Amino acid sequence: MVFLVLIHGDRQATSMPPKPLKKSLRYAVTTSFGSICYGSLFTAAIRTLRWKIRGVRSKIGKNECLLCCVDFLFHLVETLVRFFNKYAYVQIAVYGKNFNHSARDAWELFQSTGVEALIAYDCSGAVIFMGTVVSGLVAGTCAGIWTRIKHPDRVMMVGSTSMLMGMILVGLATVVVESAVTSIYICYAEDPVLIQRWDAEFFNKMSEMLHQRLQHRSSRATQVFTSRFDSQTPENAV
């Protein structure tokens, strides 16, 4: 829906297909259902592993041996991300491709346009996840307090069940926001004019942030190359 609105300019536009939400739901539970289930098996696990390795990588320091091992794992996960990423769902919804083809096309699109440098620092998923966890804890705590007053012997069961239900319900609501963010990244990579037409100020902020990230990545790569070259120069001289 977000992709269609950005393409056609407005939900009430005459070029908008009739009953788009109903058609999207039908595709999701019929022709695209297999791709959605297949991707869901791997996407979340690989994304979490990628975050963990990125965090470890930033704390290693100058330990070259450990850095090489982590770099190997990082490149391995990056290869998996090429075939299993959440951005594939937008391609599946819009173009009707299978999951692997969609994931590969989405990642190649990001790398060719430089948007990969922007989404690498995207924290929207982590924020949404933390909101889901906090909501579940609040629901479980409130239910536990009420049960403690009414039925003291069932506090753990009711509290844990309420926490789980709270997380599921809030997660179902917030996943819409995460899907919208994902669609915006795809639209920006395919045609930045779509975002500019939708919200010029937001487009300028995204472009500025992307420019900063690309500059930071370039300067960091230069520093790494220079430090490695300087460390090898004395050995070659000897």
* Nearest-angstrom CA–CA distance, 50 and 46: 6
Residue with tokens 């963990």: 52
Is 60 inside any structural domain? yes
Is 180 inside any structural domain? no
pTM above 0.85, yes or no: no
Task: For the chain, 238 residues long, give each residue's pLDDT as a single digit of tens.
Answer: 887 777 776 666 677 778 878 888 888 888 888 888 887 777 777 777 777 776 776 666 666 666 677 667 767 766 666 677 788 888 888 777 788 788 888 888 888 888 877 887 777 878 888 899 999 999 999 998 999 888 888 888 988 999 999 999 998 888 888 888 888 888 888 888 888 888 888 888 888 888 887 777 677 656 655 665 555 555 454 4
Residue with tokens 């990642």: 107
Is 184 inside any structural domain? no
Greatest CA separation for the chain? 81
State how many domains the chain has: 1
Is 99 inside any structural domain? yes
Is 141 inside any structural domain? no
Find the Cα–Cα–Cα–Cα dihedral 97, 98, 100, 101, rounded to 10°: -30
- Nearest residue to 171 (alpha-carbon basis) of 179, 161, 181: 179
* Nearest-angstrom CA–CA distance, 136 and 78: 32
Structure tokens at 61: 């320091």
Is 53 inside any structural domain? yes
- Nearest residue to 107 (alpha-carbon basis) of 92, 87, 93: 87
Q: How far is CA 115 from the centre of its chain?
A: 13
Is 226 inside any structural domain? no
Give 112: exposed, middle or buried? Use CB within 10 Å, 0-12, 13-18, 19+: exposed
Q: 88: domain range?
A: 28-113
- Nearest residue to 91 (alpha-carbon basis) of 109, 103, 78: 103
Is 42 inside any structural domain? yes
